[in-house]
Amino acid sequence: MGRRSWYLWAIIAAIGTVSLVGASLVWGGQAIEFASWIAGIGSLALAAAALLAGRPAESAAAPTLIVSGIEDQTVNPDDDAVSLRYKVRHDDARLLIEPQIPYISRVRDGGELTPLDYWHSPWEGSFHWPILDIKIVNNSNRTVLCHQAVFHVRESRPDLRPIPVLRGVTYGTFFTLLNLGWGPMTNCSLHFQLRPPSDPTDGKGFETYFEVPAGGHATVPLEEQFLAVGVDVPLLTELNRRGGGYGRYDAEYETLRRRALGPFPRGWVELIGTLQYDQIEIDGSSVRRANPIRSLISLNDPLAGAPLPPSHEYLVQLRSDGQNYSETVQVSHSLAPGESDRFLINIAADRSSIHELSLQLRYNDDGMVASGPINLALFRSTADQMPARPVDRELSDGKWDPMPS
């Protein structure tokens, strides 16, 4: 109740009291009874006004929302080149979140392509979604119940840059190049030599041309080039097909195999050269890239391998291409007066993409606090969409269950 209302009721009470005194002097008993009734009402009103005036007003202060990113230290202990972590920084009021991937940084800076050993993905030991760290402080004197986090996305667009990868050892008289990115490698040209590993001697130079689709691979036949450097490809193919028929490792088989392998008596070949290709940049322009390349080819029988895969709170799925849309995550956090809370939101998309967004946290019936602008570069290669991966499993009520039944 305001100060003016308090004064009004005080005046009414005063008038009642004056009436009581005046009536007692002029009219006697009946007037006294009427005036007492008026004075009683005024007194009650005065008491109520005093109580209300002493009660603290309900605070209209909104909760304080602090949004940051989780800057993790995730590293593949076997090879830092294929680690994946997200770097968080601020540009004035804007929050910037970008993936830090040493292998991709090296490739896009024109570094050498060398073989990576993996099963489903080079990042299968460290892949995870970027995570927003949400902190909220209740500054009011009432309980706040947060029930929604709404992402208002100004723009999402796909990252169509390719990711050229050499996967382990190639077995056979061919060369395989994978593209784990979301855009094609076009007009590829490979200038190369075939020579024994660690042999610095320049040999005969070759050139071949091909294309590598997004999320696919190119297998480039090299039979003619192997023939040109002295490998008897037909004999080697026959020996591999009928190896057991020759007693496998008897003297005749070994003699024929040494003849077929020519300058590569151990069966190991190093392909070394330069790869050039066109790619689409984030802004939609096309650029020509070049990387030195060093790949290992085995003319021996292949060896067996074995797989291994990975897992995380709330999760929101953004579009990789879209404008002016919203995605809502149902959350549930109750804060008593003076309390604070913290929760994480994993941000996913179906491919590498760039996002300009902000976050609103809704509480109670119509309360809302908003973050500043957020620029997020999300990384997800074509190899990171294996259907069996935990990050692709169903969500239950917006919460990610890393151990589905």
Whether residue 363 sits in one domain with residue 248: no
Angle at alpha carbon of residue 217, lines to 215 and 222, rounded to 5°: 170
Q: Considering the domain boundaries, does residue 59 fall inside one?
A: no
Domain-terminating residue out of 272, 298, 324? 298
How far apart CA 230 and CA 195 sit, in angstroms, is: 11
Domain termination residue (choose one: 276, 298, 320): 298
Q: At which of 255, 277, 298 does a domain end?
A: 298
Tell me, yes or no, whether 75 and 195 share the same domain. no
Domain contains 156: yes
Residue 83 lies in a domain: yes
Quick one: 127 and 224 in the same domain? no
Domain that holds residue 48: 3-54
Cβ within 8 Å of residue 178, ≥6 positions away: 164, 165, 166, 167, 212, 216, 217
Q: Is 84 helix (H, G, I), strand (E, B) or coil?
A: coil
Lookup: tokens for 89:
């920084």
State yes or no: pLDDT of 81 exceeds 80: no
Show contacts of 301-309: CB within 8 Å, 24+ apart.
301/171, 301/240, 301/243, 302/169, 302/171, 305/119, 305/168, 306/119, 307/119, 307/120, 308/119, 308/124, 308/125, 309/119, 309/120, 309/124, 309/386, 309/388, 309/389, 309/390
* 282 occurs within a structural domain: yes
Tell whether 303 is covered by a domain.
Answer: no
Read off the pLDDT of each residue in 52-68 and give the average, rounded to a whole number. Answer: 68
* Same domain as 256, residue 169: yes
Same domain, 172 and 272: yes
Name the residue with higher pLDDT: 305 or 357: 357
User: How many angstroms from the chain centroid is the CA of residue 140?
Assistant: 34
Q: First CA to last CA across the chain, in angstroms? A: 57
Residue 74 lies inside a defined structural domain of this protein? yes
Residue 76 lies in a domain: yes
In this structure, the answer to whether residues 351 and 226 fall within a common structural domain is no
Which among 8-17, 208-217, 241-250 has the top mean pLDDT?
A: 208-217
225 plus 274 within the same structural domain? yes
The answer to whether residue 29 sits within a structural domain is yes
Average pLDDT over residues 164-185: 91
Q: Is 288 exposed, middle or buried (0-12, 13-18, 19+ CB in 10 A)?
A: exposed
Residue 368: CA atoms inside 13 Å, Cβ hemisphere, count? Answer: 9
Mean pLDDT score, 377-393:
63
Instruction: Indicate which CATH number applies to the domain containing 81.
Output: 2.60.120
Given this model, what pLDDT does residue 402 score?
38
Q: What is the pLDDT of residues 86-134, one digit of tens each?
A: 999 998 889 999 999 999 999 999 999 999 988 778 888 788 889 989 8
**Distance (Å, whole) CA 130 – CA 72:** 9
Q: Are 219 and 242 members of one domain?
A: yes
Same-domain check for residues 194 and 316: no
Q: What are phi and psi of 154, to 5 degrees?
A: -70, -35
In terms of pLDDT, which residue wins out, 127 or 48? Answer: 127
Identify whether residues 192 and 272 lie together within a single domain: yes
Is residue 375 over pLDDT 80? yes
Whether residues 335 and 374 share a domain: the answer is yes
Please indicate, yes or no, whether residues 170 and 294 belong to a single structural domain of this protein.
yes
Domains identified in the chain, total number:
3
Q: Which comes out higher in pLDDT, residue 45 or 180?
A: 180
Query: What global pTM score does this model have?
Result: 0.67
